[in-house]
A = this chain, B = another copy of it.
Amino acid sequence: MESPDFIITYDGFGVSELFFCPGEVDLARWFCPGGGPGSVFVTDQSVAALPALGSFCGRFGGTVRRGVGIAGNDLLVVLPPGEAHKTIDSVTAILRAALEHDLPRRTRFCGIGGGVVCDMTAFAASVYKRGGGALELVPTTLLAMADAAVGGKAGCDLGPYKNMVGSFYPARRIRFFPAFLRTLPEAEYRSGLAEILKTALLFDSALFEDFKHRRASLLHPAEGDFEGTILPIVQRCVEAKARVVERDLRETGERMLLNYGHTFAHALETVAGLGTVPHGDAVAWGMARAVTLSARLGLCTDSYCGEVCALLTDYGWETGPVPAGRHGFTAEALLGAMKKDKKNSDAGTVRVILQRSLCDTVIREVADDDIRGVLK
């Protein structure tokens, strides 16, 4: 097995090893499906259709379009794709497959896909026979690589409530293959960039400069840029997140900062209908609202606010009070959804993450009326 170029470890409950694997994706070689004591591989129909997964899926008796494929003691569960299927039913499908094939408590669960697949695989692993199985992840989108796969958040949606059911269950191993990024649809790639920009705003001023001055190669990377430019950036994001998670896995303090832009974003995603707005685009809009709120409250300068909003616009993200073309959304509907967010508890205020300046982030309880002020 070829060794990866770079490994990061961090300690959630036990150590997570993160492998960065340049070159072609060869999952069949990494995971040897059919050869082990029993693993459950989980992916979705979109990922299963990628050429990079051809030989891997082939081990499971030809093309598994949807449902469960079998190779030796290993299972491949192929779920319907997208946020609309981030449901308890999908998690149950993973669990049921493992139960029906008698897999033991300490089974390895391996999620191969975007944030939805990674989160649900982790949740299934955490509750299968009360947990104890090893979790491995192969994030295939930029968003999952830079954010979702790292940090142990596991879960699914419940009806209109996004990520409201779940647990903390860090992966033992995460493998990053930049080659997946080459096949990513542009809209999905850009959505992932938003979480990277979030990391820059929170922790990495040099990366923020990159966003300002290297727009073309970040937004439209040439073939070689994925390994030469994007992978190192992913590594920086992952390293920054890993350090925060290590200090605060269960999000009782510092880790909340990683939700910058997310309280607004989740509200937009909920009001729009889960799966309608790509998560990263929602986060980008949420960061525009958060920095505007920061300026409104006098926390940051108008100049910093303007700089961030201009950059977001420059990358094609919406920054206005209510996203364009969505005039059905009212400030009240968005505010109402923000108050249902799991990070919120009190009556007349909403807890939001704000910035005083680049890399200087704070948590504040903000009055509903101030929130309304940046939503219309």
Closest-by-CB residue of B relative to A343 is: B105
Tell whether A106 is near chain B: CB-to-CB under 8 Å.
yes
Of B131, B163, B164, which one neighbours A168 at CB under 8 angstroms?
Answer: B131
Is A167 a contact partner of B126 (Cβ separation < 8 A)? yes
Tell whether A183 is near chain B: CB-to-CB under 8 Å.
no
Tell whether A128 is near chain B: CB-to-CB under 8 Å.
yes
Tell whether A367 is near chain B: CB-to-CB under 8 Å.
no
Tell whether A280 is near chain B: CB-to-CB under 8 Å.
no
In Å, the complex CA distance between A166 and B105 comes to 12
Q: A88-B92, A105-B345 are in contact. Are A99 and B340 (CB under 8 A)?
A: yes
Q: A102-B340, A105-B345 are in contact. Are A167 and B164 (CB under 8 A)?
A: no
Is A166 a contact partner of B127 (Cβ separation < 8 A)? yes
Tell whether A49 is near chain B: CB-to-CB under 8 Å.
no
Closest-by-CB residue of B relative to A163 is: B130
Q: Digit string of A333-370 for contact with B (CB within 8 Å is 1, else 0)?
A: 00000011011110000000000000000000000000
Of B92, B127, B250, which one neighbours A167 at CB under 8 angstroms?
Answer: B127
Of B88, B155, B161, B345, which one neighbours A130 at CB under 8 angstroms?
Answer: B155
Which residues from 70 to 96 on chain A have a C-beta closer than 8 Å to any C-beta of chain B?
88, 92, 95-96
Tell whether A129 is near chain B: CB-to-CB under 8 Å.
yes
Q: A105-B342, A106-B345, A161-B99 are in contact. Are A131 and B88 (CB under 8 A)?
A: no
CB distance from A32 to the nearest CB of B (A): 20
Closest-by-CB residue of B relative to A96 is: B158
In Å, the complex CA distance between A64 and B29 comes to 58
CB distance from A255 to the nearest CB of B (A): 12
Is B130 a contact partner of A342 (Cβ separation < 8 A)? yes
Write out the residue numbers on chain B whose beta carbons fall within 8 Å of the beta carbon of A92: 88, 158
Write out the residue numbers on chain B whose beta carbons fall within 8 Å of the beta carbon of A166: 127, 129-130
In Å, the complex CA distance between A129 and B251 comes to 11
- Of residues A96, A126, A345, which shows the largest number of chain B Cβ atoms within 10 Å of its Cβ? A345
Is A130 a contact partner of B153 (Cβ separation < 8 A)? yes
In Å, the complex CA distance between A221 and B95 comes to 43
Is B167 a contact partner of A130 (Cβ separation < 8 A)? yes
Of B105, B159, B340, which one neighbours A96 at CB under 8 angstroms?
Answer: B159
In Å, the complex CA distance between A104 and B95 comes to 28
Write out the residue numbers on chain B whose beta carbons fall within 8 Å of the beta carbon of A273: none
Tell whether A184 is near chain B: CB-to-CB under 8 Å.
no
Q: A102-B340, A345-B105 are in contact. Are A130 and B168 (CB under 8 A)?
A: yes
CB distance from A156 to the nearest CB of B (A): 10
Which residues from 162 to 214 on chain A have a C-beta closer than 8 Å to any C-beta of chain B?
163-168
Chain A to chain B contacts (Cβ below 8 Å), 16 pairs: A88-B88, A99-B158, A104-B342, A104-B345, A105-B342, A106-B345, A127-B127, A127-B155, A128-B164, A129-B164, A129-B165, A129-B342, A130-B167, A130-B342, A131-B250, A167-B167
Q: A99-B164, A128-B165 are in contact. List 13 more A-B contacts (CB 8 A).
A: A95-B158, A99-B340, A104-B344, A105-B342, A105-B345, A106-B345, A127-B165, A127-B167, A129-B165, A130-B168, A131-B168, A131-B250, A132-B250
